[in-house]
Chains A and B, each alone.
Chain A
Amino acid sequence: MNIAAARRNAINVVIPIVFGAAIVALWQFFVDWRDIKPYILPTPSSIGHELVHSIHLLRAASIVTAENALVGMVLGIIVGTLLALVANRFRFLSELVTPLSAAISAVPIVVIVSILNNMFPLGSQVARRLMVLIIVFFVVFVNVSRGLRQSDATQVELMRSYAASEQQVMRKVRLPNAMPFLFTAIKIAAPISVTTAFVSEYFGGTQDGLGQKIPAAMSSSKFPLGWAYVGAACAVGLVFFAVANILEFVAVPWQRARSSR
C-alpha cells in the first residue's frame, strides 16, 4: 500500500471518530446547559456510567437477543437457500413458493409474533427465532433464486460446448454464480435479523432480551440504563453487519473485483 492510500485510510478512520466525539460533547453540553430532564434526554456521561456499571445486565440481554437473531438467521439462510434450489429445479414449486413467501413476509411482524407466542410455552425463545427465520428466509430466497437464474450466458454456453450434464452446469456454474447473491442477502439480512429479534422480544414472551429490557428500564424511570440498552442494541446490530461483510469479503472475493471495475 502506498503512502497516499495509507493517509486516505487514516482519514477514513479519524474523521468519523472526531465527528462522533464532537456530537457526544455537544449533547453533554446541551443537556447540562438547558437542564433537560433525563426522561427526555439523559446525558452521555450518565449513559456511560450505566455502560460501565451495568455491563453484566447489558451483556446478558445482548446475548439473548444476539442468540435469537443468530439462530433465526442461520436457519433462515439454510431454509431460504434450500427452497431456492428446489424451486429452481422444479418450476411449478417456484410458482407455488414465491407468492406464498411474499404473502407471509408482507404480514406485519407484530401479528405473526402474537400468533407464534401463543403457540409456544412461556419462557420459550422459539417464537422469536421463528420470526427472524421468516424474515431472513424471504430475503435469502429471493436473492438466491435470482442468482441461480442469472448465470453468465457465456459460461453456460461454454459448459454446453463441453457436453457438460445439467448437474455439472449446476455445480460448476449456477451455484458459484449464486454465491455473491447469497452473500448480498446475508448482508441485508444480518442487521434486519437483529431488529426483528428485538421487535419480537418487545411484543411478548419471556422477560429477557433487549426488546424487553429497554421498555422495562424506561417504565421504571431508569432512563440512562434504558439508553445504555439502546447502545447495546446498536452494538449487536453493528457486529452482525460487520461479520456479514467480512464473510462476503472472504467467500466471494471476485464480487469485490467486479464492483470495483
Chain B
Amino acid sequence: MTASVSAEGVGKIFNARTKKQVDALVDVSLTIEPGEFVSLIGPSGCGKSTLLRLFADLLEPTSGKLLVNGKSARQARLDQDYGMAFQQAGLFEWRNVSRNIELPLEIHGWDAAKRHDRAKEMLELVKLSEFANHMPWQLSGGMQQRVAIARALAAHPALLLMDEPFGALDEMTREHMQAELLSICAKTGTTVVFVTHSIPEAVYLSDRVVVMSPRPGRITAIVDVGLGDERNVDTREASEFYGKITEVREALRGAEHGVGVAKVAGIEDR
C-alpha cells in the first residue's frame, strides 16, 4: 500500500544565504501509513507547522524527497488529496455554514446539487445539521471549528492535515472536540497529521507522536502510543495514558538537552 506521506531527508531553509537564514527543518524522514493518526509536537520554532505546510505544498522543501499519496506534494494538492484545518477556523463570513463546506467542492467544479448533498452529509457527520443556514458569526468557537473540519473533509480526502485546530478552544470544548475527531476518523478511515503543543492532546489522539526540537528543526523521537481504538473518558484517567504522557514529556526534555527538569518552552502539560 502507498504511504500517505513519505518524507526522506526533507529540509527547509528560509532566507537562504542571507543574514536572516533560518534552518527551519533539517533531514526529516517520516513515513505515515494510511489510516494512521500522527501528531507532531515540539516547542515553538521546531518546525512542526512548517513540516505540515510542506506536506500541504503550501511551502516547498529546499532539499530531500517528499511524496504525498505516492505523488509529488504539488500533484496531491492539485488533486485535492488532502483537507486542511487551522487554529483559526477561517470560515468565510459572507457564506453560510453549508456554503462554507461547499467551497472546496466549488473550486473543483462540482455541480450545485452534488455539492449540496455532500454538505448535508458532512453536517450530519459533525452533528451540525440544524445549523446549515446559519452564518459563521452566529456559531460558537467549537462549532466554527467543527464546520472547518467538515469543510476539510468535504471532498472525502484520504489525508487530513491539522495545525493546532483546537488551540483556541477552552479545555472542555477541546476534550469534546478530540473525542468527536476520533469518532469521525474511525468512521471515515482518514489519515491525520495533527500539529499540537499539548502533550495530553497528542497522546490521547495519536497512534504515534512525533517529537521535534528547534534550532535546527528536526525529529528527535517517535513515541508509539498504542492506547487502542476504543478511547473514551476513561482513557484519560488510565495509567497507560499517564505513562505515555511521561514518555512524550521525557522525549521532549531529551530534545532540549541540558534543560533538565525545567518546563520546555511552549509546551502544555495539562
Contacts and interface: CB of A to CB of B under 8 A. Distances in A.
Interface residues of B, number: 24
Contacts of A257: 93, 135, 137-138
Given A163-B78, A253-B135, A155 B92 contact: yes
Contact of A164 (B56, B107, B138): B107
Contacts of B88: 152, 154
Nearest to B137: A257
A49 interface: no
A254 B107 contact: no
A172 B57 CA distance: 21
A157 B49 CA distance: 13
A155 B103 CA distance: 11
A164 B92 CA distance: 15
B58 A157 contact: yes
A173 B138 CA distance: 20
Nearest to B74: A163
A interface SS class: helix
B84 A158 contact: yes
Given A154-B86, A162-B103, A253-B135, A172 B78 contact: no
Nearest to B104: A162
B interface SS class: loop
B80 interface: yes
Contacts of A89: none
Nearest to A255: B93
Nearest to A261: B137
Given A160-B58, A162-B80, A162-B103, A258 B92 contact: no
B151 to A, nearest CB: 8
Contacts of A179: 94
Interface in A153-180: 154-155, 157-164, 168, 172-173, 176, 179
Interface string B122-148: 000000000000011110000000000
Nearest to B87: A154
Q: Which of A157, A159, A252 has the most CB of B within 10 A?
A: A157
B77 A161 contact: yes
Contact of B107 (A157, A159, A176, A252): A159
28 contacts: A152-B88, A154-B89, A155-B90, A157-B84, A158-B84, A158-B90, A159-B107, A160-B58, A160-B77, A161-B56, A161-B82, A161-B83, A161-B84, A162-B104, A163-B80, A163-B107, A163-B108, A164-B107, A168-B107, A172-B92, A172-B107, A173-B92, A176-B94, A254-B93, A254-B94, A257-B93, A257-B135, A261-B137
Interface of A: 152, 154-155, 157-164, 168, 172-173, 176, 179, 252-254, 257-258, 261
CB-CB nearest 3 A-B residue pairs: A154-B90, A257-B137, A254-B93
Given A162-B80, A257-B93, 17 more contacts: A155-B90, A157-B90, A158-B84, A160-B77, A161-B56, A161-B58, A161-B82, A162-B103, A162-B108, A163-B108, A164-B107, A168-B107, A172-B103, A254-B93, A257-B138, A258-B137, A261-B137
